[in-house]
Structure 1
Amino acid sequence: MLDTAARRLTTPLLAPAAARLAAAGVPATALTAAGWLAGLGACAAIVVEAWPLALVLWWTNRVLDGLDGAVARRRGATDLGGFLDVVADFSIYAGIVLAVAIAVPDARLAAVAVLTAYYVSAVAFLALSSILERRRAAEHTDERSLRFSGGIAEGTETVLLYSVLLLVPAWAEALLWIFTAAVAVTALQRVADAVRLLRPRP
C-alpha cells in the first residue's frame, strides 16, 4: 500500500551512495549477500533477545536491499540478481517471524498464522507474476524484477511492523495477529487481481 510512496522518498536518498558503489565496481549481488547476512544476524539477535541489535541489523538489511536494486540499475540488472534479491527478501521476512516464535513463546501460534498467510500471498503473487511475464503484460511497469501486485501488506508495511515489534517485543503476539490479517487480505487482493487480469476476454 505504501511501497510506491516509499520508493519516491528513498530513491533520491539512496542515489548518491548507489552511484559511488556502482562507480567503484561493487556488484549488486554482493550487496544482496551482505543484506542477507545482516538479516540472518537480525534473526540470531532476536533468538537471544538482543532486540536493539536486531533492530539495527534489520534496518541494515533493508538499506542494503534498497541499494542493491539501485546499483543494479546503474550497472545493468540481471535476471539472476533479481531472483536472488527476491529469495533473500522472503527468507529474511520468514526468518524474522521464526526467530520471534523462538524468543517469545506466547507468539508462536500467531507466528504460524503469519507464515501461513505469507505462503498463500507469496504463491498468489509469484504465480500471477509468472503468468503476466509470459504474456508480457502491459501492467508490468515498475523497475523491479517481478510484478508486485498491490495490497495492504507490502514491503514498507513489513519494515514498519517488524521495526515496532523489535522495539516493543512485548507486543509481539498482538502485532503478529494484526499482520496475519493484513497479509491474508493482501492474498485475497492478489487473487482478485489475478481474476481481473486473467479472466478470458469476451
Structure 2
Amino acid sequence: MFDAKLRPLIDPPLNAVGAKLARAGISANALTFTGLAMGLGGAVAIAFGNLWLGLGLIIANRIIDGLDGAVARATTPTPLGGYFDIVADFAFYVSVPVGFGVLSSENTLPALVLVASFVLTGVSFLAFAVIAAERGEETQSHGKKSFFYSTGLAEGTETIAVFIAMCVFPAWFGIIAYAYAGLCVITVFQRSLRARATFR
C-alpha cells in the first residue's frame, strides 16, 4: 500500500549509493545473496531467542535489498537478477514467521497461517505479473522493475513494519500474525478483482 508512495523518497539516496557500489565493482546479484543471508540469519537469530539481533539483520536485509536494485539500475538490469531478487524476497518473508514458530510452540499455528497467507499473496502477485507481461502491460509505480508489480494492501513496507512489531512485542506475535494474514487474504481478493477488471 505504501511502497509506491515511498519510492520518491528512498530511491534518490539508494541510487546515489548504488552508483558508488557499482563503480567499486560490486554486483547487484552479490548484494541480493548477501541480503538473503542477512535475512535468513535474522530468522535464525529469532528462532534462538535473540530478537534484537534478528531485528537488526531484518533491517540490514531490507537496506541491502534496496541497494541491489540501485546497483542494477546503475549498470544493466538482467532478467536473471530480477528472478534472484524476487526469490530472495519471498524466502526472507517466509523465514521470519518460521523463526517465530520455532521460538515458541504457542507461535506455531499463527506462524503457519501467516506463511500460508504469504504463499497466497505471492501466487497472486506472480500470476498477475505473468499475465500482465503476456499482454504487454507496464507500470512504473514501484520504480523500474524486471516485471509488472501490482499494488495491494499488504506489500513490502507493511510486511517489514509487521516484522519489526513482532520483534519488539514478541508476546503479541499471534495477534499480529493473524491480523496481517487477514490483510494478506484481503490483498489476494483485491488483486483478483483487479485482474478480473484488467484481463477479462
TM-score normalized with structure 2 length: 0.95
Q: What CA deviation, in whole Å up to 9, does each residue of 1:35-61 have, x standing for no partner?
A: 000011101101101011001100000
Tell me the amino acid that sits aligned with residue 125 of structure 2: F
* Residues 69-90 of structure 1: per-residue CA shift (max 9 Å, x gap): 0110011100000000000000
Structure-2 separation of matches of 1:167 and 1:145: 34
Q: Which residue of 2 aligns with 1:158?
A: 159
Q: Which runs of 5+ in 1 are unaligned?
A: none
Runs of at least 4 residues off by over 2 Å = 138-142
Give how far 1:116 is off.
1.5
Q: Hey, what does 1:96 align to over in structure 2? A: 96
Q: Which residue of 1 aligns with 2:169?
A: 168
- Contact kept, 8 Å, 2:28 with 2:68, in 1: the verdict is yes
Partner of 1:58: 58
1:26 partner SS: coil
- Provide the C-alpha distance between the structure 2 equivalents of 1:124 and 1:19, rounded to a whole number of angstroms: 33
Unmatched 5+ stretches in structure 2: none
Name whichever of 137-146 and 32-41 sits farther off.
Answer: 137-146
Deviations 1:137-164 (A, max 9, x none): 1446641122221111100000111011
Give the aligned CA root-mean-square deviation in angstroms.
1.3
CA distance in 2, matches of 1:7, 1:171: 30
Matched with 1:124 is 124
1:28 matched to 2:31? The reply is: no
Give the partner amino acid of 1:157.
E
Comparing 60-69 and 165-174, the one that deviates more: 165-174
Q: Report 1:170-189 matches (<5 A).
A: 170-189=171-190
In 1: Cα distance, 2:79 partner to 2:125 partner = 18
Identity %: 35
Aligned residues: 199
Partners of 1:28 and 1:133 lie apart in 2 by 23
Call closer, same or farther: CA 1:49–1:35 in 2, change over 3 Å: same
Contact 1:107 1:176 in 2 (8 A): no
